[in-house]
Structure 1
Amino acid sequence: MEDAALSAFSVFFTQTPSFLAYQRLMEGSKGKSNAQSLFGVHRIPTDNHIRDLLDAVSPEHLFPVFEEILQVLEAQGQLESFRCLGDSLLVALDGTEYFSSDKIHCPHCSTRTQKSGKTHYFHSVVTPVIVCPGQNHVIPLVPEFIVPQDGHDKQDCENAAAKRWLSRQEQCLRALNVTVLGDDLYCHQPLCQQFLEQQLNFIVVCRPESHTTLYEHLEGIELPTLTTKKRTGKVEKTYTYRYLNGVPLKDSDEALLVNWCELTVTTADGKVTYHNSFATSYPLSDENVAEVVRAGRTRWKVENENNNTLKTKGYHLEHNFGHGKQHLSSLLATLNILSLLFHTLLELLDDKYQLLRAHLPTRQTFFNDLRALTRYLYFDSWDHLLTFMLEGLELDIPPDSS
Structure 2
Amino acid sequence: MSKEAAKIPDHRPNNGHKKIPLHDAIMSGLAVMHLKYPSLLRFDEDCKEKPDKLNNLKALYGVEQVPSDSHLRDMLDPIETRYFRKFFTSLFSYVQRSGRLKQFEYFEEGYLAPVDGTGHFASGSINCQECCVKKPDSKNPQYYHQLLGMCLVRPGKKEVLPLAPEPIIQQVDASKNDCEKTALKRLLENTSREHPHLKLVLNFDDLYSDGPTIRLVKSYNYSFIMVAKDSSHVSLYEAVDELDARDKVSRYEFTDEDGFKHWFRFVNGVSINKSHKDVLVNYLEYVSVSPKGKKYVNTWVTDIELTEESVAKVMRGGRAKWKIENETFNTLKTQGYNLEHNYGHGKEHLATNFANLTFTAFLIDQIEQLACPLFQKALAAKKSKTALWHAIRGLFDWFLIGSWSDLLKAIIEEKSICIKGLISDTS
* TM-score, normalised relative to structure 1: 0.92
Query: What does residue 174 of structure 2 align with?
Result: 152
| Runs of 4+ residues over 6 Å off in structure 1 | none
Query: What does residue 356 of structure 1 align with?
Result: 378
8 Å contact kept, 1:264–1:272 = no
What secondary structure, in the 3-state scheme, does the structure 2 residue paired with 1:258 have?
Answer: strand
Q: Map residues 72-221 of structure 1 onto 2, 5 A cutoff.
A: 72-86=94-108, 88-113=110-135, 118-220=140-242, 221=244
What secondary structure, in the 3-state scheme, does the structure 2 residue paired with 1:306 have?
Answer: helix
Instruction: Report whether the alignment pairs 1:252 with 2:275.
Output: yes
Return closer, same or farther for 1:144/1:275 CA change in 2, 3 Å cut-off: same
Percent identity of equivalent pairs: 31
Report the alpha carbon displacement of residue 178 of structure 1 after superposing the two structures with TM. Answer: 0.8
8 Å contact kept, 2:29–2:354 = yes
Report the alpha carbon displacement of residue 362 of structure 1 after superposing the two structures with TM. Answer: 0.8
1:230 is aligned with what amino acid? D
What secondary structure, in the 3-state scheme, does the structure 1 residue paired with 2:60 have?
Answer: helix
8 Å contact kept, 1:11–1:20 = no
How many residues were matched structurally? Answer: 390
Q: Map residues 246-395 of structure 1 onto 2, 5 A cutoff.
A: 246-252=269-275, 254-267=277-290, 271-392=293-414
Report the alpha carbon displacement of residue 218 of structure 1 after superposing the two structures with TM. Answer: 1.7
Q: Distance in 1 between matches of 2:49 and 2:73?
A: 21
CA RMSD for the aligned pairs? 2.1
8 Å contact kept, 1:110–1:123 = yes
What secondary structure, in the 3-state scheme, does the structure 1 residue paired with 2:329 have?
Answer: helix
Q: Distance in 2 between matches of 1:252 and 1:356?
A: 55
Moved more, 381-390 or 65-74: 381-390
Moved more, 142-151 or 45-54: 142-151
Q: Deviation digits for residues 4-34 of structure 1, max 9, x if unmatched? A: 111111111011233442232221xx59532
Query: What does residue 49 of structure 2 align with?
Result: 25
| Consecutive unaligned residues in structure 2, runs of 5 or more | 1-21, 420-427
8 Å contact kept, 2:53–2:400 = no
Q: Distance in 2 between matches of 1:97 and 1:119?
A: 17
Q: Deviation digits for residues 192-242 of structure 1, max 9, x if unmatched? A: 11111111110011111111111111224243111011233xxx2210011
| Consecutive unaligned residues in structure 1, runs of 5 or more | 398-402
Q: Distance in 1 between matches of 2:106 and 2:276?
A: 34
Report the alpha carbon displacement of residue 173 of structure 1 after superposing the two structures with TM. Answer: 4.8
* TM-score, normalised relative to structure 2: 0.87
Return closer, same or farther for 1:378/1:268 CA change in 2, 3 Å cut-off: closer
What secondary structure, in the 3-state scheme, does the structure 2 residue paired with 1:219 have?
Answer: helix
Report the alpha carbon displacement of residue 176 of structure 1 after superposing the two structures with TM. Answer: 1.6
Return closer, same or farther for 1:87/1:254 CA change in 2, 3 Å cut-off: closer
1:127 is aligned with what amino acid? G
Report the alpha carbon displacement of residue 117 of structure 1 after superposing the two structures with TM. Answer: 5.4
Query: What does residue 400 of structure 1 align with?
Result: none
8 Å contact kept, 1:174–1:198 = no
